[in-house]
Amino acid sequence: MVKIDKANLEESLNKKEPQAPQMSKETEIGFHQGALNTLVNERNELIKMIQNIESIMQAHLKRLEELGVKIEKKG
């Protein structure tokens, strides 16, 4: 975190934080592969959730139609 010197605000804001240590190419590749694997799994779970929500919505729409309620479909 950058400390702000209120007496010299412009200089404080222009200071850069120290760079993180460099990692080897193999370590960086592993990091990005692991991140992608995690994100793919998260995306798959999100898709499952959306499918479940859609299924429940369809059940409600079907029952409303059975009860005589007309639903206007948009999109």
In which domain, by residue range, is 46 found?
Answer: 39-64
Q: Is residue 54 part of a domain?
A: yes
Q: Is residue 59 part of a domain?
A: yes
* 20-48 residue pLDDT tens: 778 899 999 999 999 999 999 999 999 99
Angle at 17 between CA 15 and CA 7, to 5 degrees: 35
Q: What pLDDT score does 14 carry?
A: 74
pTM attached to this predicted model: 0.59
Query: Which residues have C-beta within 8 Å of that of residue 64, sequence separation ≥ 6?
Result: 71
Number of domains forming the structure of the chain: 1
Q: What pLDDT score does 6 carry?
A: 72
Rg, C-alpha atoms of the chain: 26
CA distances from 30 to 1, 40, 43, 44 (A): 27, 15, 20, 21
Q: What pLDDT score does 10 carry?
A: 74
Rounded distance, CA 51 to CA 57, Å? 10
Q: Is residue 49 part of a domain?
A: yes
Rounded distance, CA 42 to CA 64, Å? 33
